[in-house]
Chain A
């Protein structure tokens, strides 16, 4: 057993940390207040190769691994939940499915520009009436000659307004049991009939773009269908397993930030003539936070490692997502408590951690869905 990161993983961590602290952190409050997607930051991240970390060089990626990618999400999440979420969604949902299931031709066309960071990708699964119940997808794709004609509505789609391609899930037929066959189709966002609007006024991750996508007779070549047409559902379950690791990593980053801020504040803040870090009431909170952060880190890294070793990781990814995101919420909540009245103020940033962390308990599978996934893995 070896808990040491490789030299490359350590270098990636230190590079991303430097970049996050120098470039993103000074703007984190403004990104939240103005709810503005920091496109220029993503351009820089693209140039540094961050958007292609887990993909091979031949597809424009950086040729690194899932663990390095998780570390990068953690470091970005530590300074800005909005940027972290858009980053995690871009790589795990917008790009990964093309890498996992795409043909060589699709990889050449769609994967390369995304992995190189020249463009962003999005994943359109959620619909107004199909969230946790992804099987309830209503969007349809009907074959008409050499084209699919797609009709439907997608909601809460991360990065859609800035995406070059959206991987859309749609019903393409029925199997012999009469159940819907759901497939994934790559839809370039400049195709006629797509309208993308982002009018959501969100509680947290406010600088991450979230959009509604309406598809009205959108025609794309049938070659844009991703992977096995009859296994679309399985494909996106696999995609979501991978995505969970990145959301877990984001939770880990926020939890670490909550701990860092709390510890620093507790050592500086004086009450009753002493720094409040001398009081057990505060010490116990800090001890719990530190312990949970480390446990979350171990679980996130293990899930990433399992994926890198091509071993099953569904259960571990669900553990990681559930534990790390709930840790983020608890840690952020305690961070506000430790900061007292100041913690309630935006300037001290910990209240933002709480708002950002809340999304992580919902997006890419709610905490309840994670428990379901775990229970199923246990054989229930």
Chain B
């Protein structure tokens, strides 16, 4: 089976985000595999171990993205592809990403493409579905269970806490939700072996694309941090008084009533 994983590097969840001149400061920040993409990598490895085949991890990024790809290889993926857009693209959006991936998948004969449900940075959740549309294959988002039987695939889809059971057929694209699996730690031998696994680097030229084909369809007007949360206040005393005080605060101080 030909299994592909779409992977994105994101800020480490421990990082403090700083914005300057309308851009998020990346200098010195630690990056990780987008946590939802980790579920995708884990599931890809599990399915390969069960059904055979090969897992290829694909990312669009810059030179530094190699670290996240190597981590996926260390977990057990077989091959990695870095589509390096650092020198060619000033900006991009979900359209850009889906378009590049469409070109990449041209002639690839993928049976299963796994992606994260959303990336924790911009959280659009669009790239997977958009790519599936472009490739003309079905897609199911936010899956929490995946079983393959021949050409059939059985999925549990998380729908706001409820489960939808879906039966579909390969090839398919799915996006992975928390609860699908428990991603493994890359083992030490895995990390050492990852060094020797193939990591192909492509630029948009290699995919017969140029910058104009990829111009974003959206425009970012501003980037800002949410207002700092102020300390809460605990009202005390008789319940009746507390209610009165609350109403008065909501009216006069917060001015929401």
Residue of A nearest to B70 (CB): A7
Known: A7-B70, A10-B67. A15 touches B186 (CB 8 A): yes
Residues of A within 8 A of B189 (CB): 49, 57, 62-63
Verify A8–B185 contact, CB threshold 8 A.
no
Q: Is B40 an interface residue (CB 8 A)?
A: no
Q: Smallest CB–CB gap between B67 and chain A, Å?
A: 6
> In whole angstroms, how far apart are the Cα atoms of A185 and B66 in the complex?
46
> In whole angstroms, how far apart are the Cα atoms of A144 and B70 in the complex?
55
Q: Smallest CB–CB gap between B195 and chain A, Å?
A: 6
B32, B67, B190: the one contacting A7 at CB < 8 Å is: B67
Residues of A within 8 A of B67 (CB): 7, 10-11
Verify A11–B71 contact, CB threshold 8 A.
yes
Q: Is B191 an interface residue (CB 8 A)?
A: yes
Nearest 4 interchain pairs by C-beta: A49-B188, A62-B188, A49-B187, A63-B192
A54-71 CB contact bits vs B (8 Å, 1 = yes)? 000100001110000000
Known: A7-B66, A7-B67, A7-B70. A12 touches B191 (CB 8 A): yes
* Chain B residues bordering chain A, tally (CB within 8 A): 16
Q: Is A19 an interface residue (CB 8 A)?
A: yes
B176-206 CB contact bits vs A (8 Å, 1 = yes)? 0000000001111111101100000000000
Verify B185–A11 contact, CB threshold 8 A.
no
Verify A50–B66 contact, CB threshold 8 A.
no
Residues of A within 8 A of B187 (CB): 47-49, 62
A contact face: mostly helix, strand, loop, or mixed: helix
> In whole angstroms, how far apart are the Cα atoms of A15 and B184 in the complex?
10
Chosen A-B contacts, 15 in total, with CB atoms closer than 8 Å, are A7-B67, A7-B70, A8-B191, A8-B194, A8-B195, A11-B67, A11-B74, A11-B191, A12-B188, A48-B187, A50-B188, A57-B189, A62-B191, A64-B188, A64-B191
Q: What interface size band does chain A fall in? A: 10 to 19
Count how many pairs of residues, one from A and one from B, have CB atoms less than 8 Å apart in the complex: 50
B187-231 CB contact bits vs A (8 Å, 1 = yes)? 111111011000000000000000000000000000000000000
> In whole angstroms, how far apart are the Cα atoms of A271 and B187 in the complex?
46
> In whole angstroms, how far apart are the Cα atoms of A317 and B63 in the complex?
36
Q: Is A52 an interface residue (CB 8 A)?
A: yes
A75-111 CB contact bits vs B (8 Å, 1 = yes)? 0000000000000000000000000000000000000
Residue of B nearest to A10 (CB): B67
Given A7-B70, A12-B191, A62-B192, 19 extra CB contacts under 8 A:
A7-B67, A7-B195, A8-B194, A8-B195, A10-B67, A11-B67, A11-B74, A11-B186, A14-B32, A15-B74, A15-B185, A18-B185, A48-B187, A50-B188, A52-B188, A53-B188, A62-B189, A64-B188, A64-B192
A residues 5-27 in Cβ contact with B at 8 Å: 7-8, 10-12, 14-15, 18-19
Q: Smallest CB–CB gap between B80 and chain A, Å?
A: 13
